[in-house]
Structure 1
Amino acid sequence: MSKIFTYILTKTIGLYINIVSYISPNKAKKLAYKFFSEPREGRLTQAQLPKILQEAEAEMVTHNEFIFQTYTWLGGSKKILLVHGWESNASRWELFIPYLKKENYTIIALDAPAHGLSSGQEFNIPQYAEFIDIIVNRVQPDYMVGHSIGGATSLYYQSHYQSNFIKKMVVLGAPSDLNTLLTNYRGLLSLNNNVSMLLKNHFTEHFKINPEDFSGSKFAASIKIQGLLVHDTEDEVVDFTEGEKIAKAWESAEFLVTNGLKHSMHDDSLYNKICTFLKTE
């Protein structure tokens, strides 16, 4: 019943935006971007903070008008930064953290814009990368692990900021092309060509981004550090072909294909392989 309700709701929203696009294109553009960029899940409150996050040293960092939340589990001198994905928060690493603790890493995780305890209503990769850069320059992590949109942001970050601190990167189930995300979003809401063009124009005007060029595979092509790229053949959220695109471009990365882990990619064997990759010279 809930799936039927969700289907009707998304199509109704799409129909409304389509109608508005002929009356007020600017309003339609803002509405289309709002539903594309505002997460509906992943928020936390202090009262409902998961146990794994309660165990960490928490700090709120101010950046311009934004506040974002970080968590640190102290260990040895080697540091690793964890970057979660869409409609999630730092607690998504709960099952992975024990493996990293066993290797005596100091672990740092953050809540993305508009996720967890971080401020904001809108999520976008360039802003997420700004948050990451602040953390990277403060704590100087040796490694970075990103999941889903967090993985795509990790690729964007390293290609644009070229951090000398990050020695290795692990990317799990990441989408490649912004155009693919926009196409999927358009299909979900049944948006017409007019709205689709308005939405693409928004990225050009607001972020100076050409959706055609905003691609994980293009970002990966400029990354020189060692990488481990992992994608599951049964990923129900990000199609396996997205991982293949990134793999073809990232020359210094190993492409690990899994089966049956789907998009969450929580798996003992995989976590052990990641740890082996990180500590192998």
Structure 2
Amino acid sequence: MSQKIYFGTENKFSVKRSALNVVTRLHHLLIPSHAKKMGRKLLLTPVRTKPKNTEPNGLIKSKLTSTEGTLSLYKLGQGPIWVLAHGWSGNSSQFYPLMEYIASKGFTAIAFDHPAHGESEGKHAHLPAFIEGLNAVLDSCDEVAGVIAHSMGTSAVLECRHYQLEQTPLLLIAPVLNYTENLFSSIERSGYSMKLFTAIVGDIEEQYQRTIDSFNPYQRLQQRETQTIIVHDKEDRFSSFELSKAAAEHIEQVILYPTIGLGHGRVMASEEAKKAFDELSKSN
């Protein structure tokens, strides 16, 4: 259900959205604890999508223990390590074509399923859980040559404070650079009670000791000193191409490789993504 809320793009009046607003506000007023429980189930449960691509030959699967439960890892190739992080309701199989390309160039590609995604453990997910999962993967790697991320995975990468990311180049595909604004506008657009949503967020903030207002991927990108290439489709309906364009225009170390007609997902296997990897791996 959360996929429809976060990725819904309809702005016109809807009876269903109005009904959702009334029901969730009343539920929160009358039975707040149960309302939050049901809200976590509705808003924090990603869709476990089926694999998008055929497993490449030589793919090695393994498990990794993290604070968010056991994560599923997928490794291909030999050489310097590139870590790949998918987005909300995605999974590592979306990266298989790009992983094959990375491996063919003499590198190791390591993808992983975020908590509550793919074959990893967990029922609920959110940005702090994404970050903790990424921390565990980075801890397991001796040295990381670069990182590739898609959609909400880009927010996790930019907000992650792991030392392995300090000097590594980044390839951001269809990034969500306005995470907090995008999240709240999506919930508001859905009709869900904002007061109830704020209460659910408050519990997460308390658990991870970080406020949602502290998340600002665009600002984090501005603060980085190493090269970043953004690959973004001009017709992306789910994350802002214009914000990626602005980042490339105003942040010295950011370059934009635009695509057209590939949308939010297919861009992950684009020729532009491969070219961006070639550029970053050579500079590194």
TM-score of the pair, normalised by structure 1: 0.82
CA displacement 1:149-179 (0-9 Å, x = unmatched)? 111111112xx22326752111111112223
Task: Call closer, same or farther: CA 1:198–1:165 in 2, change over 3 Å.
Answer: closer
In structure 2, distance between residues paired with 1:167 and 1:41: 30
Q: What SS does the aligned partner of 2:273 have?
A: helix
Deviates more, 1:117-126 or 1:264-273: 264-273
1:176-195, aligned counterparts within 5 Å? Answer: 176=177, 177-188=179-190, 190-195=191-196
Unaligned stretches of 5+ residues in structure 1:
none
**One-letter code aligned to 1:84:** H
Task: Call closer, same or farther: CA 1:27–1:43 in 2, change over 3 Å.
Answer: farther
Q: What SS does the aligned partner of 1:280 have?
A: helix
Q: What SS does the aligned partner of 1:95 have?
A: helix
Find the counterpart in structure 2 of residue 32 from structure 1. Answer: 39
TM-score of the pair, normalised by structure 2: 0.82
1:57-206, aligned counterparts within 5 Å? Answer: 57-64=60-67, 66-75=69-78, 77-139=79-141, 140-157=143-160, 160-163=161-164, 167-176=168-177, 177-188=179-190, 190-206=191-207
**One-letter code aligned to 1:256:** Y
**One-letter code aligned to 1:259:** I
Deviates more, 1:271-280 or 1:77-86: 271-280
Compute the displacement of 1:195 (Å).
Answer: 2.8
**Kept after mapping to 2: 8 A contact 1:29/1:202:** no
Deviates more, 1:226-235 or 1:21-30: 21-30
RMSD in angstroms over aligned alpha carbons?
2.9
In structure 2, distance between residues paired with 1:144 and 1:259: 23
In structure 1, distance between residues paired with 2:214 and 2:17: 28
In structure 2, distance between residues paired with 1:254 and 1:156: 19
**One-letter code aligned to 2:152:** I
Compute the displacement of 1:199 (Å).
Answer: 4.1
**Kept after mapping to 2: 8 A contact 1:70/1:108:** yes
**Kept after mapping to 1: 8 A contact 2:68/2:132:** no
Unaligned stretches of 5+ residues in structure 2:
9-13
In structure 1, distance between residues paired with 2:176 and 2:95: 19
**One-letter code aligned to 1:111:** D
Q: What SS does the aligned partner of 2:262 have?
A: coil
Task: Call closer, same or farther: CA 1:267–1:153 in 2, change over 3 Å.
Answer: same
In structure 1, distance between residues paired with 2:172 and 2:68: 29
Identity across the alignment (%): 19
In structure 2, distance between residues paired with 1:37 and 1:245: 30
Compute the displacement of 1:14 (Å).
Answer: 4.5
**One-letter code aligned to 1:148:** S
Task: Call closer, same or farther: CA 1:199–1:237 in 2, change over 3 Å.
Answer: same
Task: Call closer, same or farther: CA 1:113–1:196 in 2, change over 3 Å.
Answer: closer
**One-letter code aligned to 1:124:** H
**Kept after mapping to 1: 8 A contact 2:71/2:121:** yes
**Kept after mapping to 2: 8 A contact 1:234/1:260:** yes
Q: Which portions of structure 1, spanning 4 or more consecutive aligned residues, are displaced by more than 6 angstroms?
A: 6-11
In structure 1, distance between residues paired with 2:104 and 2:176: 30
Compute the displacement of 1:202 (Å).
Answer: 3.7
The answer to whether residue 29 in structure 2 is matched with residue 22 in structure 1 is yes
Find the counterpart in structure 2 of residue 229 from structure 1. Answer: 230
**Kept after mapping to 1: 8 A contact 2:167/2:225:** no
**Kept after mapping to 2: 8 A contact 1:217/1:245:** no
CA displacement 1:89-129 (0-9 Å, x = unmatched)? 11001222232122121111101100111000111222222
**One-letter code aligned to 1:145:** I
